[in-house]
């Protein structure tokens, strides 16, 4: 059997916490920021913990060795 490889794009976008949850950057802050409210911009700072259904896909398909 060949080895499972980690997707290099996922390495740059996601990281695992010590409890095994998937941490990612907030989405929606790349362009067209003038349409977004100041509250949205303020609330979208930093990182977020993905929900369980998304994190299962990330861990199984993209970060098998993580």
Q: Which domain holds residue 25?
A: 8-62
The CATH number of the domain holding residue 12 is 4.10.410.60
- State the pLDDT at residue 1: 82
Is residue 44 domain-resident? yes
Is residue 1 domain-resident? no
- State the pLDDT at residue 17: 96
Is residue 52 domain-resident? yes
- pTM of the complete model: 0.80
Residue 20 has pLDDT above 90, yes or no: yes
- State the pLDDT at residue 66: 78
Residue 16 has pLDDT above 90, yes or no: yes
Is residue 37 domain-resident? yes
From first CA to last CA, the distance across the chain in angstroms is 19
Is residue 35 domain-resident? yes
**Number of domains observed in the structure of the chain:** 1
> Which residues have CB under 8 Å from 13's CB, separation 6+?
24, 25
Is residue 33 domain-resident? yes
- State the pLDDT at residue 26: 95
- State the pLDDT at residue 53: 96
Is residue 39 domain-resident? yes
């Amino acid at each position: 059997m060949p080895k499972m490889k980690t997707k290099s794009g996922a390495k740059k976008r996601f990281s695992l916490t010590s409890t095994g949850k998937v941490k990612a950057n907030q989405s929606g802050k790349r362009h067209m920021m003038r349409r977004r409210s100041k509250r949205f911009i303020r609330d979208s700072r930093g990182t977020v913990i993905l929900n369980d259904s998304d994190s299962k896909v990330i861990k199984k398909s993209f970060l098998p060795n993580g």
